Chain A
Amino acid sequence: MKIDLTKLTIIEASEGLKNRDFTSVELTKAFLNKIKEKDKEIKAYITVIEEIALKQAERADKMIKNKEIYPLTGIPCAIKDNILIKDIKCTASSKFLENYIATYNATVIEKLEKMGAVFLGKTNLDEFAMGSSCENSAFFTTKNPRDLERVPGGSSGGSAAAVAADMCIYALGSDTGGSIRQPASFCGITGLKPTYGTVSRYGLIAFASSLDQIGPLTKNIDDAKIVFDAIKGSDPMDSTSVNLEKKNNLSKLRIGVPKEYFAKGLDGEVEKSIKEAINIYKELGAEIVDISLPMSEYALACYYIIAPAEASANLARFDGLRYGKTIKDEEAEKIIDIYLKNRTAGFGKEVKKRIMLGTYTLSSGYYDAYYKRALKARTLIKQDFEKAFEKVDVIIGPTAPCLPFKIGEKSDDPMSMYLSDIYTVSVNLAGLPAISIPCGKSQSGLPIGMHLIGAPFEEEKLLSIASLFEKKYDNK
């Protein structure tokens, strides 16, 4: 029987490559064919780089022949289109960067390339990673492979959909307020947001620099660990990056269940599924500890001050001079005309709104009432978690309060869209690692994701605790 190569995990594919069951070129062609066949419908990719992918696969095959084998050698992956690959178009799903060609590699790309990775292409996102559904892409909306009428989540929706539809083995995404974990949950796959600072952000198009973090979207937890290990590490090009990983010292497993995560606004089916997952942990011998994170209800408000404030500063670089060009020279007389006309034509509605929101909360007269207050609230949110982690190893809850919603369902109501990130944003504000893994399905067959949050730099422990559940859940 011929196996479907596109269904393999990283570990399985790597075994196959090592044993010479197939070559990286064969594996890569299988994915390119799958993309041709399925992506017309799903629209996960903005750019597919077939020729480059095949060249990288040939190189990987040579490495394997020479016994220079890393866990990701010859493994085809997808990269969110806000992470730079030299000489490849990088759009951030914005009109502004429609024709922008990256002039250097992101550090994560550099690391993967050294290991002989194969890049299939760049995936869709909400413009500049601002959104929760991929509907804010300036080009098109990606569909959820589990139900084509629904959103894949966002902002790393293209990456999540590509993994879920077997159009790559794994993908990289970025997470500012839930942008890896929420789409992983919606598409029924695994998504890890590492501790702030563990993965270099050099070459990631910045949204909110104190919150952004690159991480993997994969088919299971072991794969997430492989990709995380490959991309982590301090980098002289990112002064916030560090080498601080802590060893797993788990003895008696204690899992914290915050009462605030099961309050009103949570979908009944999601709640049931998470409670069943908690029971599985109980059966596995874990101590379940009721905890409280009283600041939870303020996290989203805090996030919607801090993230737009940082975005308004980061996006000031898009001036129509150094990046992108949408207007003709004759249309501008003074330099300010170039700024105004390019920014007005280049940015989409949501991005403009967030730039303006950030400008407002940072402006004279409002700074203390909004931005400064949010920075103080952020301290309290961080302290909430610090107190909790004195008592427990991980915190469990739902990744999103709702099931994947229909395309168009929330696009006119910003607050209802923002609320889909209510459980994930606090993790970015506190800089913690967290993972979303599949834990069940709704009656209608839609995926439900469970969210496990760890203490800073305790990825190893977090992943091992997540694995305990995954093994049990797969066997059911």
Chain B
Amino acid sequence: MISEEEIRKIAKLSYLEIKDEEIDEIREKFSSILEYVKKLQELDISDVPETANLSKTENVFRGDIAKEKEVEDLLSALSRKKDNYMQVKKILYNED
């Protein structure tokens, strides 16, 4: 089963907090899925190319022309703003 330490590390990378009482359940459910997907280890895939997407992978270009957008609508969704900017909390700090 996946360790508590690993779960805490993944949670941190995912920007999620986990309460102590949730740890066991998460470890258990996480492990059952990991156990299932291990099935892919059976496959011999050394020479197989990867398929990451099915699109034509061509660039779509447009002219570099500024367009008016409804800024008000977009700003209305922000939790904090000042003038026409999104306002955020401190982004530079020392890690605890």
Contacts and interface: CB of A to CB of B under 8 A. Distances in A.
Interface of A: 100-101, 103-104, 196-197, 209-210, 236, 239-240, 242, 297-298, 300-302, 304-305, 312, 316, 319-325, 329, 332-341, 343-344, 347, 352-353, 355-357, 359-360, 363, 369-370, 372-380, 382, 414-415, 418, 430-431
Contacts of B93: 334
B36 A353 contact: no
Residue among B41, B55, B78 having the largest count of chain A Cβ atoms under 10 Å: B55
4 closest Cβ pairs, A-B complex: A240-B55, A375-B50, A325-B79, A431-B54
B40 A374 contact: yes
Contact of A360 (B10, B45, B50, B77): B10
Contacts of A304: 33, 36-37
Contact of A210 (B11, B15, B54, B88): B54
Contacts of B76: 101, 103
Contacts of B77: 100-101, 103, 322-323
Contact of A344 (B6, B17, B80, B89): B17
Nearest to B49: A379
B66 interface: no
Interface string B64-88: 0000001001101111100000101
Contacts of B50: 372, 375-376, 378-379
B55 A376 contact: no
Interface of B: 6-7, 10-11, 13-17, 26, 29-30, 32-34, 36-43, 45, 48-56, 58-60, 62, 70, 73-74, 76-80, 86, 88-91, 93
A353 B43 contact: no
B62 to A, nearest CB: 7
Contact of B39 (A100, A103, A298, A344): A298
Given A305-B40, A356-B30, 10 more contacts: A322-B77, A322-B86, A333-B89, A340-B16, A352-B14, A369-B41, A376-B43, A376-B50, A377-B40, A431-B54
Contacts of A305: 37, 40
27 contacts: A101-B76, A101-B77, A103-B73, A103-B76, A103-B77, A197-B54, A236-B62, A240-B55, A242-B55, A301-B37, A301-B39, A305-B37, A320-B79, A324-B79, A335-B91, A336-B15, A338-B89, A340-B15, A340-B17, A344-B16, A352-B14, A355-B14, A356-B11, A357-B30, A363-B10, A377-B43, A382-B51
A375 B49 CA distance: 8
A324 to B, nearest CB: 8
Contacts of B7: 356
A312 B14 contact: yes
Contacts of A300: 36
A376 to B, nearest CB: 4
Contacts of B86: 321-322
B62 A357 contact: no
A415 B32 contact: yes
A356 B89 contact: no
A373 B17 contact: no
Contacts of B41: 369, 373
Contact of B40 (A100, A239, A302, A335): A302
Contacts of A209: 53
Nearest to B9: A363
Given A301-B40, A335-B91, A356 B78 contact: no
Contacts of A239: 55, 58-60
Contacts of B14: 312, 343, 352, 355-356, 359
A316 B30 CA distance: 20
B36 A338 contact: no
Contacts of A382: 51
A343 B70 CA distance: 27
Nearest to A332: B89
A133 to B, nearest CB: 16
A334 B89 contact: yes
